[in-house]
Amino acid sequence: MNLRGTALAGLLTTATVLAAAPAAAEPPPHAGPPTEVRVLAWNIYHGGLDDTWEDAANRDAVIEQIVDVAPDVFFSVETYGAGEAITAGLEESTGEDWTGVQITPSSTGDDNLWLFTHFDVDTVFPAPSGDEETDAFHIGGARVIAGDGRVINAFTMWSNYTDPWVGDLIEANAQDVAAGREPAVPASEIVAADRRQTAFVADFLDYVGTHAAPHEPVLMGGDLNTVPAGDWAARWAHCADHAGLSYDLNATEQFTDAGFVDTFRAANPDVCEAPGMTWSPRLEMMTPDRIDFVYARGKVVQVRDARTIDERVGTGAEFPSDHAAVVADLRIK
């Protein structure tokens, strides 16, 4: 979740320093077999060092979890000082060179967003400029080149949660229904809470449109702090954990309208069978909130599989973040 109002826009830096530059001109068409890309999006919870744990062992568990996924591209939220350790952990485990692109400058107080990849980083996009609501704390990205020469535009994103928060309001109504009461929160209030996120998403899409060439694949991942509109449409009100409720939500529909695919839902089309909860592995809730996403755009992009991860690798100990991770396996033709 991580409430953050306004962050200072700043320089984009990387583990190996890269200069920001405009998007490149259209390259020749890509030839050869499809490019297989595994994408991870995960809010790692205060860099894995939240006060709940107070030691470095949990950060080590976060890095172990990332290494186990073996992503090609990792969109990291709440990185908060863990960037260099994540880069080193990935390099040690894979024997490959990795670049950690620090999207949010340290001058903001918290280096929230990073992008990690073993692909070549061709261009780091400039930070959003001049907007008090959407800046480098919320979105940034890079143009990367896969090992076979495929160009991919990759963006890490995070949007502020609102008070009251849409997930809490939906949960309150579901609990009312389960207890035999009428839902206390008007649907209009839930819709209004979700639509406060629409400005963020609109800014994100404008930023992508500025920096990603229309003919090139685009990947976006991160924590949107709202639930997927399609999951709460009337056709899914019968799901056991929806309590017969549905809402006319809007924020995430903007991605669909802009030609993006919600990779998790594309791979798991039945909302009742696969709710895809990412908020939160640490809470007992009736309604599973899926607030973390991997989106993909481009006619050449196919979703092979997608899943969430909320169990700690190699042990029965507590999952090392308050968010589940999202993994998408993609094929770019």
pLDDT value at residue 301: 97
Average pLDDT over residues 234-244: 97
pLDDT value at residue 51: 62
Residue 72 in tokens: 């090609």
Residue 111 in tokens: 């280096």
Q: How confident is the model at residue 127 (pLDDT cuts 50, 70, 90)?
A: very high
pLDDT at 156 over 50: yes
| Structural contact between residues 157 and 221, judged by C-beta atoms closer than 8 angstroms | yes
Distance CA 131, CA 135 (A): 6
Residue 160 in tokens: 């502020």
Average pLDDT over residues 94-104: 96
Angle CA(77)–CA(150)–CA(302) in degrees, nearest 5?
A: 70
pLDDT value at residue 2: 57
pLDDT value at residue 47: 93
Residue 168 in tokens: 């809490």
What residue type is 210 in one-letter code? T
Superfamily of segment(s) 30-332: Endonuclease/exonuclease/phosphatase (3.60.10.10)
Q: How confident is the model at residue 49 (pLDDT cuts 50, 70, 90)?
A: confident
pLDDT value at residue 317: 85
pLDDT value at residue 130: 61
- Residue reference for tokens 């895809």: 276
| ω into 280 cis (within 30 of 0) | yes
User: Alpha-carbon torsion 131, 112, 158, 3, what sign?
Assistant: negative
| Structural contact between residues 231 and 202, judged by C-beta atoms closer than 8 angstroms | no
Beta bridge partners of 145: 120, 151
What percent of the chain is modeled with pLDDT above 70?
88
Beta bridge partners of 153: 143, 218
SS3 per residue for 132-167: CCCCCCCEEEEEEECCCCCEEEEEEEECCCCCCCHH
Among 14-23, 186-195, 206-215, 245-254, the minimum mean pLDDT is found in 14-23
Distance CA 31, CA 216 (A): 14
pTM check: above 0.75: yes
pLDDT value at residue 31: 65
- Closest-CA residue to 282 (of 320, 252, 315): 320
pLDDT value at residue 131: 59
Highest mean pLDDT of the ranges 17-26, 123-132, 233-242: 233-242
| Residue 306 host element (H or E) | strand 301-309
Gyration radius (Cα) of the chain, Å: 19
What residue type is 310 in one-letter code? D
Distance CA 112, CA 79 (A): 5
Q: How confident is the model at residue 107 (pLDDT cuts 50, 70, 90)?
A: confident
C-alpha torsion angle, residues 158, 164, 165, 169 (rounded to 10): -170
- Closest-CA residue to 101 (of 140, 71, 43): 140
The CA distances from residue 199 to 141, 163, 224, 258, 308, in Å, are: 19, 15, 12, 14, 27
Average pLDDT over residues 165-182: 97
Q: How confident is the model at residue 248 (pLDDT cuts 50, 70, 90)?
A: very high
The better pLDDT of the pair 28, 56 is held by 56
